[in-house]
């Protein structure tokens, strides 16, 4: 079957605008994760979903960042009032089970966000 898909692949926006990034996990995967990859910070965890609920939002850098997941499938990461420091590659991953430590996470290709 298909892997994790993300859209758009690239997004250029102006400072202060809102953006939405979409993730389609592998069918049947109950756990979904968002990560951010930036030059200064490396790869960092943002948020974890189990089904439609988000038991761990500890990585969201500010209240401008939010995410939701509907139908236990598609997830949207929203960044409001974007800042230049939000420029990064946003990665989505999914895993089959309930977030066990040994679960394999499968990553999408990412969305490259550039804030001008």
Helix (H, G, I), strand (E, B) or coil at 96: coil
Of the pair 61, 106, the CB lying nearest another protein is at 106
For another protein, the binding residues in 14-53 under the rule CB under 8 A are 31, 33, 35, 42-45, 48, 50
Q: Report d(CA 79, CA 82) in Å as an integer.
A: 6
Contacts (CB under 8 A) with another protein, residues 55-114: 55-56, 58-59, 91, 93, 95, 99-110
In the complex, least distance from residue 108 CB atom to another protein, rounded to whole angstroms: 6
Give 82-107 as a DSSP string. --GGG-EEEEEEEESSS--TTPPPEE
């Amino acid at each position: 079957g298909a892997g994790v898909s993300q859209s758009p692949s690239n997004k250029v926006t102006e400072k202060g605008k809102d953006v939405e990034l979409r993730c389609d996990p592998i069918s049947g995967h109950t756990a979904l994760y968002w990560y951010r990859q930036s030059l200064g910070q490396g790869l960092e965890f943002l948020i974890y979903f189990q089904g439609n609920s988000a038991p761990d939002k500890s990585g969201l850098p500010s209240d401008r960042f939010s995410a939701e997941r509907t139908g236990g499938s598609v997830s949207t990461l929203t960044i409001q009032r974007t800042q230049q420091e939000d420029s990064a590659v946003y990665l989505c991953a999914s895993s089959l089970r309930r977030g066990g430590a040994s679960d394999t996470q499968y990553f999408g290709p990412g969305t490259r966000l550039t804030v001008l």
